[in-house]
Amino acid sequence: MARPRTQDPDELFALAREGDRLALARMLSIVERGGDPARAVGRLVHAHAGAVATVGITGAPGAGKSTLTSALIAQMRADDERVAVLAIDPSSPFTGGAILGDRVRMGDHATDDGVFIRSMATRGHLGGLALATPEAVRVLGAVGFPWIVIETVGVGQVEVEVAGATDTRVVVLNPGWGDAVQANKAGLMEIADVFVINKADRPGVSEAVRDVEQMLELGADRAWRPPVLTTVGTTGAGVTELWGAIRDHREAARASGELADRTAARQADELHRIVAERLLARARELGGGPRFDELLGAVAQRRLDPWSAADQLLGGEA
Amino acid sequence: MARPRTQDPDELFALAREGDRLALARMLSIVERGGDPARAVGRLVHAHAGAVATVGITGAPGAGKSTLTSALIAQMRADDERVAVLAIDPSSPFTGGAILGDRVRMGDHATDDGVFIRSMATRGHLGGLALATPEAVRVLGAVGFPWIVIETVGVGQVEVEVAGATDTRVVVLNPGWGDAVQANKAGLMEIADVFVINKADRPGVSEAVRDVEQMLELGADRAWRPPVLTTVGTTGAGVTELWGAIRDHREAARASGELADRTAARQADELHRIVAERLLARARELGGGPRFDELLGAVAQRRLDPWSAADQLLGGEA
């Protein structure tokens, strides 16, 4: 298949819906870069984006998230579910595929038309990831992937937010003491719907399970109590149960209304962010003028603190 | 020393300048929480914030940053330099001190008045860390810490930005192949002024050094070529050289004008962010009204894409 030369959103979308993976990849690149071309793609797919199920897989670097994701995909494919993966983890072999060829275990799924894997850059414009991810999810939904797995490293502020903005949130820990404590500090315990102790062929599994259970005891009562599963990503042990837990959570969340609540909260959050992004563009305009330079000079000379400078710059505007 | 009951910025500042560490800690808590009280602290310290030297220490979780920082502090103290540490790393034992008491190696410096250590939360309001960190640096400078070490985990978008906003940026890697590749993907290679291969008592040191040197060959020519050092944080081996390299870089950057350029760029970036934060407050106001709810309903029903909804909400405003 020849690489599509077109950058026209309508043509790319038509090609992508026919299964052209390069056209799909190009649409996602446009979304990732942001700006007016991304808006054109967004307007186009919005009406076609069906109901998708999103699964967030997060945890510290080295927790084995990518291997586990690959094993999970195999389970999903065994049930004939089409699935796309967005990898937002600089330590993921998916993200690093181009450089770390031999580490790309996703090669297992490379020839499967029912699987699409894409890395998203964690750098770029402020708030870029938080805005580009829901748009990318809509693109994937509109071209026919009802399941979307979002793999993020659960360490940074933006990355935890992105992982949190999914229907079912899987937090991956490893055996031994302390991992659950770190996850708690990173804000992962409160977003988890399913816990996985991966690499469960190593010592310390029962301690890790106990740590998580104790934290769950201390936490707020929720209608859904997150199960604590054990898996070995490299062998696939426990991954059937993980896939079952994801579907169970989805069903329970649908029945309780939690799924609808989360969808509504995500839509409101996204609209807030977009309004903010539009205002930021205005801020960048203000940041280019002579008045900005004048006030910046006053800050540099310590005649003015930066918040007072901002207030003077904005005047009655905000 | 009794815990100061006051929340009055003037009183806290006067106490902190006399060496009251609890008053200083309270000022930093106010800065961290943001809002009007933080602005009051900011206005107060701005005029008093002397020229401080900031050192960013970043790298993946588990790279040994905290142990290395502790050893570096010992070197700085041997030269009679007063130093404050801001730890912005959910996996840092500094940050986790309250939970992981036995892991707090910083206990070495607990009774030293010339050392102040403070963790900063990575969660909170959008952009909070990027705005609170320079304010915290000014507070520490104003109460008499000329050296400020900022330890961040080099994985998340915000965290890499915070590490980048320092005068001298130390990137900590570990022996073996691949770490440099990951660091490159996270955007760390381009911000590094000094590379450290820590845990250099393990195998693979020469491979790691070679990886970094090769990446430096490929990179842009800069007036300062980052040295690649080897250290063992737990024994202190190589840390004298690290302290020397930090001072060398500072001197070279001062001579070349790079230090002044970075300071100016940071001040402009901070003023941009504050203007943006002020406009965000305006966005939150807009997000509370009936028009917002109406447009959000149209998005939920797929009658409108969210960017078009934002444009309608803002009207002629942005």
The alpha-carbon gap from B129 to the nearest alpha carbon of chain A, in Å, equals: 9
Structural domain includes residue B262: no
Per-residue confidence at A139, pLDDT binned at 50, 70, 90? Answer: very high
CATH of the domain at B153: 3.40.50.300
Structural domain includes residue A266: no
Co-location of B41 and B53 in the same domain: no
**Mean of pLDDT values over A89-117:** 60
pLDDT of residue B35: 82
Which residues on chain B are in Cβ contact (under 8 Å) with A160?
123
Structural domain includes residue A223: yes
Burial of B243 (0-12, 13-18, 19+ CB in 10 A): buried
In this predicted structure, the answer to whether residue A41 has a pLDDT above a threshold of 70 is yes
Co-location of A176 and A252 in the same domain: yes
Q: Which chain A residues in 102-131 lie under 8 Å from chain B, judged by CB atoms?
A: 122-123, 126-127, 129
Out of B123, B157, B275, closest to residue A310 by CB: B275
Number of domains in chain A: 3
Largest CA distance in chain B: 67
Q: State whether A42 and B318 contact (CB < 8 Å).
A: no
Q: Which chain A residues in 50-79 lie under 8 Å from chain B, judged by CB atoms?
A: 60-62
What is the CA B288 to chain-centroid distance, rounded? 33
Structural domain includes residue A265: no
Structural domain includes residue A295: yes
Domain boundary among B208, B232, B257: B257
Q: What does the alpha-carbon distance between residue A148 and residue B300 come to, in Å, rounded to a whole number?
A: 19
pLDDT, tens digit (0-9, with 9 covering 90-100), for B299-312: 888 888 888 898 88
The alpha-carbon gap from A234 to the nearest alpha carbon of chain B, in Å, equals: 20
pLDDT of residue A284: 72
Which residues on chain B are in Cβ contact (under 8 Å) with A96?
181-182, 185
The alpha-carbon gap from B95 to the nearest alpha carbon of chain A, in Å, equals: 9
Domain boundary among B209, B234, B257: B257
Co-location of A172 and A31 in the same domain: no
Amino acid at A85: V
Q: What does the alpha-carbon distance between residue A78 and residue B134 come to, in Å, rounded to a whole number?
A: 52
Co-location of B169 and B241 in the same domain: yes
Structural domain includes residue B35: yes
Structural domain includes residue B267: no
Domain boundary among B48, B64, B86: B48
CB-defined contacts A:B, below 8 A: 201
Co-location of A39 and A88 in the same domain: no
Co-location of A35 and A160 in the same domain: no
Largest CA distance in chain A: 67
Classify residue A232 by its DSSP letter.
B
The alpha-carbon gap from B132 to the nearest alpha carbon of chain A, in Å, equals: 12
Q: What percent of chain B has pLDDT over 70?
A: 88
Structural domain includes residue B152: yes
Co-location of B103 and B9 in the same domain: no
Co-location of A236 and A100 in the same domain: yes
Q: State whether A276 and B271 contact (CB < 8 Å).
A: no
Q: Which chain A residues in 173-192 lie under 8 Å from chain B, judged by CB atoms?
A: 178, 181-182, 185-187
Co-location of B68 and B34 in the same domain: no
pLDDT of residue A90: 61
Retrieve residue B98's tokens.
């309250």
* Element spanning B111, H or E: none
* pLDDT tens for the 318 residues of chain B, in order: 455 578 899 999 999 999 999 999 999 999 988 888 888 999 899 888 778 999 999 988 788 998 999 999 999 999 999 999 998 866 556 654 333 333 344 566 777 889 999 887 655 444 577 788 999 999 999 999 999 999 987 767 777 778 788 999 999 999 976 777 777 777 788 889 999 999 999 999 999 999 899 888 877 777 899 999 999 999 999 999 999 999 999 999 999 999 999 998 888 888 888 887 787 777 777 777 888 888 988 888 888 888 889 888 887 444
Q: Mutation test of the interface with chain A: which of B139, B181, B274, choosing the one with the most A Cβ atoms within 10 A?
A: B274
The alpha-carbon gap from A228 to the nearest alpha carbon of chain B, in Å, equals: 22
Q: How many CB atoms lie within 10 A of CB B10?
A: 11
Q: What does the alpha-carbon distance between residue B74 and residue B96 come to, in Å, rounded to a whole number?
A: 21
pLDDT of residue A204: 92
Out of A60, A279, A310, closest to residue B283 by CB: A279
B132 close to B120: Cβ distance less than 8 angstroms? yes
Co-location of A26 and A115 in the same domain: no
Co-location of B25 and B55 in the same domain: no
Q: Which range marks the domain in which residue A243 is found?
A: 50-256
SS3 content of chain B, % helix, strand, coil (to 5): 55, 15, 35
Q: What is the mean pLDDT of chain A?
A: 84
Q: State whether B310 and A271 contact (CB < 8 Å).
A: yes
ipTM of the complex: 0.75
Co-location of A138 and A196 in the same domain: yes
Q: Is the dihedral of CA B244, B247, B252, B255 positive or negative?
A: negative
